[in-house]
Structure 1
Amino acid sequence: MLSVALVVLALMGCAHSHNDPDPMFTDYDALSEEFIDHINSLDTSWKAGQNFPGKKEEDVRHLCGTLDPEPGDSLEADFDDDPPKIDYDTLPASFDARTKWPKCNSSISLIGDQDNCGNCWAFGSSYAISDRYCINKMGLLQLSVQYITSCCSRAYRYNGCSGARIATAYSCWQKYGVPTGGQFGSNYGCQPYTIKDCPLKSESNGVTFPWCTGKSSKPSTSYTPPCSECCDVGYSKKLNDDRHFAAKVYQLRRNNAPSIQAEIYARGPVTLTFSVYQDYLSYKSGVYKYKTGKYVGRHAVKIIGWGVENNMPYWLGTNCWGQHWGNNGFFKFLRGSNHCGIESYGYAGIPKS
């Protein structure tokens, strides 16, 4: 079965997985300074640091909301029948989409923030898709993560903030179309993002959000804002006039890093998924390779390039946990060995003109 196979591949790529004998698992919270210090005491190719001050692991586990594909489900797209015609041996040792398409830098460099919603599947997809409009000279635009989270997930019987597959976003883009929408508070587009992190009680000033439980900063991970088929008041278009569609969507070749590189080099950023373990939550710099911690969940990200650092090949990606996470929202991840399943399941697409 496909989903089982992907999980097995992910575990093979992250040695020890759920049964790592490291006693730090039970002694300390994964976001504690003690656990971070423990990571940095190991022989690693990367450095850990505090990304979620004032929070515990239970407050952020739901951010990894990507679900594995279901075997035989027609929602999953086929592999690309017309991949880029590139000799893999000619691919550069390093590549950054921001350098190749400098006019699209503001789109490619954009860092999202899920806040209190497990919709990495929507962010990782929407941001990669949006880049391709600019790369294809269709202008700078940002597709609505809000609409994908609330409406696309409902169309495929998912609860967006509780998780979905990246195929949900890509299929919805192709079949129904997705309107524009910017980040929280941006007022950009038809449906900007509306989900905000739950404030601590001492910082709330009496303001409440429906997705917050009211108990400190602990989120309600099951709440997904209702789907709206209208644009925000004041936007110049009706939603149906603002829909953007895909000419085609497709899965990326599995366990084939060079083919993924060729796709990025020729067409732009892609969406990849991988298994997250406790140590990744505190990544700050360097090339991430799993070292310690239990399984947290499956995550989706945008990959914009690759390179080599200290003889370690890596993927260059943008996360969707805000600019305070990692290296200002960016990260490097071991490339070429399907580490934590990162090369086992991915998507891309071409916008319809």
Structure 2
Amino acid sequence: MPLMVFAIMAVLSVEGRKVPTGPNQEKSPADLLGNLLGGLTGLVGNTLNQLIDHLKSLLNGILDLTQQELLKLVDVLNLLKSMGIVITDEKLKLTAQRVVLINGLTNGIWEAKLGFFSLLPDEDQKKLCGVFDIEIENIVGRDTSEVNRGGRDKRQASQANCNYTTEFDVRDKWPKCSPFINQVQHQGLCGSCWAISTASVYTDRHCIERDKKGLSTPNNASFTYSSFDVLACSPEKGCSGGWPHKAWDSIKSNGICTGTDFNSNTGCKPYPFKPTGRYPILKSCKKSCTNEYWGVPYDTDRRNYVTSTSTIKGENAIKEEIHENGPVVACFSVYKDFYSHADGSDGHVWGDYDRSHAVVIVGYGTASCGYEKIPYWIIRNSWGTNSTGEGFLKFRRGNNECGIEQTVSFGIPKVN
């Protein structure tokens, strides 16, 4: 085991221990980073140069970041600061050490980076994952103690050493619906992934069903369906979590109204939480449009249903379903390494279990990584376009990685 990785593992093994606090500890030099940020959201000139120099010094011997990566890191730190989250020197160094450790475990198949999601406090990371715990079945486990830890350097590589071949993508089969399928929402710090994934798949499949029938497929708010309606009006736990299959049952019974994401802010019930809101408050379900300018009454707008719902498991069943009817909702267990994922075919290699998360499967392919073939799913996430792959990522396929192939749900939209 390389000395660097061994040393980092030793540091991380004690990170959970409590450190005595007192007046001296409260005034530790760890706040120098916060002082340099100074609460500003647009650093320029000497202040920016001073911060860059401090980051270089702080990360020296851990991560060798390019100037562009350092500037991106400054933007991330400013964004977190604007949300009331101050990243201390200690937190930044610890997260950088985690990135190096993870990259030493992935064997080049995927890359971890220092960024917004990896720097979020634990409590806020958990808010991104809104599916109740799943018990992983028939998982093909990998003992990370046997993973090759050598050969990785201290750079944040921009791409894993693999070539990717897409074998199927719903956007290629139904190109008229690709504007909908390409839409990546941002859930903010609300555990609404279960609602967003379900509503977005309903939107995708509604377009696909219209295309199958030879109907027009307008890309507008009248054909975009509301994750907020599902979030607030399904019998689940709102931002605290829920199950996608129960969201599908709710649509079958009650329908779903129109509504876009926060930025577009149109339709009957657009998503109400901005991406940078740290403490979203979900109001109770209202049987009316929240957009007062929408010209269609809620009871009329909500007359969108599914003819059937279903849950499936297993790689072949998932492939068959997306070939026939389009995207599906999948759930998986999230471990600490996932928040650092930047590129490549994600698979768990390090860290404790956090919570479970819902995403959308839109296709699949195979990565050629040296002599190794890594099958993957093409996943649409709901953490915005500034996340991995502008909101789309690759996730290991065929071995129920983190349970992703065992709790898959969908519905067939009713199209007249």
TM-score scaled by length of structure 1: 0.76
State whether residues 331 and 404 of structure 2, in contact with CA within 8 Å, keep that contact through their aligned partners in structure 1: yes
Structure 2, unaligned runs of 5 or more? 1-8, 16-89, 136-164
State whether residues 25 and 293 of structure 1, in contact with CA within 8 Å, keep that contact through their aligned partners in structure 2: no
Which residue in the other structure is 2:199 paired with? Answer: 126
Pairing 1:232-251 to 2, within 5 Å after superposition: 232-243=291-302, 244-251=304-311
SS where residue 94 of structure 1 aligns? strand
State the aligned residue count.
286
Cα drift, residue 125 of structure 1: 1.1
Mean Cα displacement is larger for which, 235-244 or 28-37? 28-37
CA distance in 2, matches of 1:29, 1:303: 34
SS where residue 389 of structure 2 aligns? coil
Structure 1, unaligned runs of 5 or more? 1-20, 71-91, 200-218
Cα drift, residue 165 of structure 1: 0.8
Which residue in the other structure is 1:285 paired with? Answer: 343
Which has more helix, going by share of residues? Answer: 2
Change (3 A) 1:334 1:23: farther
CA distance in 2, matches of 1:276, 1:288: 11
Which residue in the other structure is 2:287 paired with? Answer: 229
Pairing 1:193-272 to 2, within 5 Å after superposition: 193-198=271-276, 219-220=278-279, 223-231=281-289, 232-243=291-302, 244-252=304-312, 254=313, 256-272=314-330
Change (3 A) 1:343 1:177: same
Pairing 1:1-353 to 2, within 5 Å after superposition: 24=12, 26-27=14-15, 32-42=95-105, 43-52=107-116, 55-68=120-133, 94-137=167-210, 139=217, 140=219, 141-152=223-234, 156=235, 158-198=236-276, 219-220=278-279, 223-231=281-289, 232-243=291-302, 244-252=304-312, 254=313, 256-310=314-368, 311-353=373-415
Which residue in the other structure is 1:211 paired with? Answer: none
**RMSD across aligned C-alpha pairs, in angstroms?**
2.3
Q: Deviations over 1:197-241 (max 9, x none)?
A: 446xxxxxxxxxxxxxxxxxxx347x3233221112111100111
Aligned residue type for 2:96: E
CA distance in 2, matches of 1:180, 1:321: 21
SS where residue 193 of structure 1 aligns? coil
CA distance in 2, matches of 1:23, 1:338: 31
SS where residue 328 of structure 1 aligns? helix
* Segments of 4+ moved more than 3 angstroms: 25-31
State whether residues 190 and 237 of structure 1, in contact with CA within 8 Å, keep that contact through their aligned partners in structure 2: yes
State whether residues 65 and 118 of structure 1, in contact with CA within 8 Å, keep that contact through their aligned partners in structure 2: yes
CA distance in 2, matches of 1:191, 1:246: 19
CA distance in 2, matches of 1:151, 1:69: 23
Q: Deviations over 1:297-323 (max 9, x none)?
A: 011000000000011000001100111
Aligned residue type for 2:363: G
CA distance in 2, matches of 1:134, 1:26: 51
Q: Deviations over 1:133-166 (max 9, x none)?
A: 11111634221011111111xxx2x320000111
Structure number, greater radius of gyration = 2
Aligned residue type for 1:110: Q
State whether residues 183 and 192 of structure 1, in contact with CA within 8 Å, keep that contact through their aligned partners in structure 2: yes
Aligned residue type for 2:192: N
- Higher normalized contact order (CA 8 Å, seq sep 6+, divided by chain length): 1
SS where residue 292 of structure 1 aligns? coil
State whether residues 32 and 56 of structure 1, in contact with CA within 8 Å, keep that contact through their aligned partners in structure 2: no
State whether residues 29 and 35 of structure 1, in contact with CA within 8 Å, keep that contact through their aligned partners in structure 2: no
Aligned residue type for 1:113: H
Identity of aligned residues (%): 34
State whether residues 360 and 380 of structure 2, in contact with CA within 8 Å, keep that contact through their aligned partners in structure 1: yes
State whether residues 134 and 332 of structure 2, in contact with CA within 8 Å, keep that contact through their aligned partners in structure 1: no
SS where residue 161 of structure 1 aligns? helix
